[in-house]
């Protein structure tokens, strides 16, 4: 080998070594990203893939049975694979319609989420799973209906009955049309735009689920598809076998809700905060709560049937339940008026006590709950990052109050509580207007004074300031040590938070720590925080892991 050939061989060998090193780094980087992704996505994606796998198995196994089997050759000859397609979709619908009620059994979910099963099943994503099942129901209903319309056409050509008779008058056709119409109304009114702008329409039409199931239960009991020889079909159909578990559980759930809501409840205090936020303090017999939970409220004076969820802002040690209600929409405004508050008072802070008005004029309020939510898991972590956007601050008010009481008792030697292991809480509150900072001003000021090393407060103002506020900031004496807008020692930042900077700082401050990230607010910001948690989580057992938790109800 010549000298030149030897040099070329060495260079080629070096290039191969470098290439292998790059491939190893790329592979290692992919593994790291995969492990980081699993911290927040593993159980959710596993459950979702399990659901998808069940749909695929049911559809294709049923199709195989009808297409290649010998029990239904007569009807197969008449309509072809239309019957196999319809029955395959029906098999998926049986399962989906049988389980769709489980995620909305709030009492059951609250009980299960504090068990070991919460490490396997993401119970806080119950509403998300409910939606996924609903999407599957819509899809397979379309497949089922399309296939059967083809079957009706073919049967109309081969029998004495017309296609219209099969579709609209026969037992399967009539019950199917009723259920499909109810499903259409429920799905269209559940669209996010409709649900937010016209919640009452969503609430009322969603109760068409009673009509939906009333049509489904007898739908398969008419022996529409007959086998070649006895038994010709399942007696009573198949759907009831899938529905009995979920239906019975949901009926029990509704009974428990009604009994719990009928316990004696009184509004003890009403406070109207700036920014059109109404605070209700409620006393309820036999009501126990934990920080981070939520309740459902009904005010018969406003609507005798509507229930609305609100996160609790009180602490268990206070002896009452409190919620902060933003006055947007017919129901919340009606609630304020029933409590003697008008929107013209929105710029003033009122505290009408019950003694100041006739007790008979205080509206009757029904409370269902409390129920567990994602924020309830805050005590699992030594380091917390709590992010609230606007009125989304409410669950963290409860957590801050509880933490204050726990630390105060521990410092006073009244007994160390198991929750006192929280070492640091970073509280980020993003608001459009400065008036929002007054909702929990006393609480924040007390905490930062009493426990300056425990809670770090970060306030962000994203809206425009009024001229008098700008003047106040310019002339404010900074030597007082308090922020000109919030009145707190913690300064107010203008603009949106830099999440990469915040997460990088947390990683540097708390190496090899599990950090609980809790959020309540709009979807766009939730997605940003979710990505940041996955991005900044270290892989393996070492390093910092950010566990993302979002309110869902």
| pTM exceeds 0.85 | no
CATH number of 265-371: 2.40.30.10
pLDDT score at 22? 35
pLDDT digits (tens, 9 = 90+) for 339-362: 888 766 444 444 444 434 445 567
Mean pLDDT value across residues 426-441: 82
**pLDDT above 70 coverage of the chain, percent:** 78
Tokens 């939606």 identify what position?
Answer: 131
Which one-letter DSSP state was computed for residue 518? E
Q: Please give the Cα distance from 498 to 529 (Å, whole number).
A: 11
Quick check: 233 pLDDT over 70?
Answer: no
Return the pLDDT at 23.
40
Cα torsion 105, 111, 113, 117 to 10°: value is -100
Burial class (CB in 10 A: 0-12, 13-18, 19+), 497: middle
Which carries the bigger pLDDT value, residue 364 or residue 25? 364
H or E, element range at 428: strand 424-431
pLDDT at 390: 85
Confidence of residue 187 (pLDDT cuts 50, 70, 90): very high
In this predicted structure, the answer to whether residue 21 has a pLDDT above a threshold of 70 is: no
Which sign does the torsion angle of CA 115, 118, 120, 121 carry? positive
Q: Residue 427 class from Cβ within 10 Å (0-12 exposed, 13-18 middle, 19+ buried)?
A: buried
pLDDT of 500 > 80? The answer is yes
Segment 433-448 mean pLDDT:
80
pLDDT of residue 348: 46
CATH number given to 374-550: 3.40.50.80
| CB count in 10 Å sphere of residue 189 | 18
- Burial of residue 230 (CB within 10 Å: 0-12, 13-18, 19+) is exposed
What percentage of the chain carries pLDDT values higher than 90?
A: 25
pLDDT at 488 over 80: no
Average of per-residue pLDDT values in the chain: 80
Residue 124 has pLDDT above 80, yes or no: yes
* Greater model confidence, 213 or 432: 213
């Amino acid at each position: 080998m010549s000298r030149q050939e030897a040099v070329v061989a060495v260079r080629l060998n070096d290039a191969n070594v470098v290439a292998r090193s790059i491939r190893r780094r790329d592979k290692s980087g992919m593994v790291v990203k995969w492990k980081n992704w699993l911290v927040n996505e593993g159980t959710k994606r596993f459950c979702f893939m399990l659901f998808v796998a069940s749909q695929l198995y049911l559809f294709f196994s049923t199709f195989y049975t009808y297409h290649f089997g010998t029990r239904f050759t007569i009807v197969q000859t008449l309509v072809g694979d239309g019957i196999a397609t319809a029955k395959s979709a029906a098999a998926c619908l049986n399962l989906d319609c049988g389980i769709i009620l489980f995620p909305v059994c709030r009492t059951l979910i609250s009980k299960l989420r504090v068990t070991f099963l919460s490490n396997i099943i993401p119970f806080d994503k119950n509403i998300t799973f409910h939606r996924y099942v609903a999407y599957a129901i819509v899809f397979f209903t379309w497949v089922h209906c399309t296939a059967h319309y083809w079957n009706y056409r073919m049967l109309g050509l081969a029998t004495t009955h017309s296609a219209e008779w099969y579709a609209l008058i026969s037992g399967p056709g009539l019950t199917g049309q009723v259920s499909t119409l109810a499903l259409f109304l429920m799905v269209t009114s559940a669209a996010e735009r409709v649900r937010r702008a016209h919640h009452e329409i969503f609430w009322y039409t969603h109760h068409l689920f009673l009509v939906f199931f009333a049509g489904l239960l007898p739908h398969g009991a008419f022996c529409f598809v007959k086998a070649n020889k006895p038994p010709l079909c399942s007696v009573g159909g198949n759907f009831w076998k899938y529905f009995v578990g979920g239906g019975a559980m949901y009926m029990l759930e509704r009974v428990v809700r009604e009994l719990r809501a009928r316990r004696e409840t009184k509004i003890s205090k009403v406070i109207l905060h700036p920014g059109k936020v109404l605070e209700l303090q409620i006393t309820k017999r036999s009501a126990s709560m934990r920080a981070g939970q939520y309740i459902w409220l009904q005010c018969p004076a406003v609507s005798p049937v509507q229930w609305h969820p609100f996160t609790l802002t009180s602490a268990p040690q206070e002896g009452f339940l409190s919620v902060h209600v933003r006055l947007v929409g017919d129901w919340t405004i009606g609630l304020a008026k029933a409590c003697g508050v008008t929107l013209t008072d929105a710029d003033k802070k009122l505290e009408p006590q019950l003694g100041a008005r006739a007790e008979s004029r205080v509206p009757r309020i029904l409370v269902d709950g409390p129920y567990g939510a994602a924020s309830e898991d805050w005590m699992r972590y030594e380091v917390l990052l709590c992010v609230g956007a606007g009125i989304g601050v409410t669950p963290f008010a409860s957590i801050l109050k509880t933490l204050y009481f726990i630390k105060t008792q521990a410092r006073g030697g009244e007994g160390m509580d198991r929750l006192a292991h929280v070492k640091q809480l970073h509280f980020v509150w993003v608001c459009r207007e400065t008036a929002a900072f007054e909702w929990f001003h006393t609480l924040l000021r007390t905490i930062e004074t009493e426990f300056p090393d425990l809670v770090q407060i970060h306030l962000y103002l994203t809206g425009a300031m009024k001229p008098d506020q700008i003047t106040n900031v310019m002339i404010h004496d900074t030597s007082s040590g308090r922020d000109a807008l919030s009145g707190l020692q913690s300064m107010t930042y203008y603009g949106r938070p830099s999440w990469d900077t915040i997460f990088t700082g947390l990683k540097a401050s708390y190496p090899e720590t599990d950090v609980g990230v809790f959020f309540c607010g709009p979807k766009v910001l939730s997605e940003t925080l979710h990505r940041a948690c996955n991005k900044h989580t270290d892989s393996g057992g070492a390093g910092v892991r950010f566990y993302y938790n979002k309110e869902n109800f």
